Amino acid sequence: MIQLTARGSEVDRVVGLEMGADDYLVKPFSISELLARIRAVLRRSAMPPHGSASGAGQVFEFAGWRLDATRRQLRSPSGALVDLRGAEFELLLAFVERPRHVLTRDQLLELARGRSAAAVERSIDVHISRLRHRLEVDPGEPELIKTVRGEGYVFAAPVKVNGAAW
């Protein structure tokens, strides 16, 4: 997704990128620049996602959910396809690849987005909140993604990969 906006401060750009935009373009802009940025996003989307190199070809199962790393699909326990944003998918993949390990916000940003934590390090909290609303029966009392006070987050569910315990 390319975010087109009139807000061009550094904070606005960082927030836009950290919230899931692949690129951020401030008005006014030329059509040739927009087309070049579209081509760049399309090239990047054709590459394997940053966080999924180790997950390629793997299907992760946890608490009845199925995450197919190659197809980039999440299926609910009832078999319904769950729509995830790119950042949410990468974050969930980072969690299921490291179940029961406490991960800091910085580690999650690096694993899920391929970049170091920037000025808006709390943006990871927004993505985790969104994931909890998609995955948890009660997002206010999470069972899968738990907060470890002062440290970060942990994916608490046991995970199977291609049918075998992870």
| Same structural domain, 20 and 67 | no
| Same structural domain, 29 and 58 | no
| Same structural domain, 78 and 106 | yes
Q: What is the total count of domains within the chain?
A: 2
| Same structural domain, 41 and 58 | no
Q: Which domain holds residue 30?
A: 2-47
Query: Could you tell me the pTM of the whole model?
Result: 0.64
| Same structural domain, 108 and 150 | yes
| Same structural domain, 118 and 154 | yes
Q: Contact at 8 Å (CB) between 1 and 22?
A: yes
The pLDDT of residue 94 is: 93
| Same structural domain, 15 and 92 | no
> 3-state secondary structure string, the chain?
CEEEECCCCHHHHHHHHHCCCCEEEECCCCHHHHHHHHHHHHHHHHCCCHHHCCCCCCEEEECCEEEECCCCEEECCCCCEECCCHHHHHHHHHHHHCCCCCECHHHHHHHHHCCCCCCCCCHHHHHHHHHHHHHCCCCCCCCCEEEECCCEEEECCCCEECCEEC
| Same structural domain, 16 and 85 | no
| Same structural domain, 115 and 160 | yes
| Same structural domain, 30 and 112 | no
pLDDT tens digit sequence for 25-41: 889 989 988 888 888 77
| Same structural domain, 131 and 69 | yes
pLDDT tens digit sequence for 87-141: 899 999 999 999 999 998 888 888 876 654 444 557 888 999 999 999 999 999 9
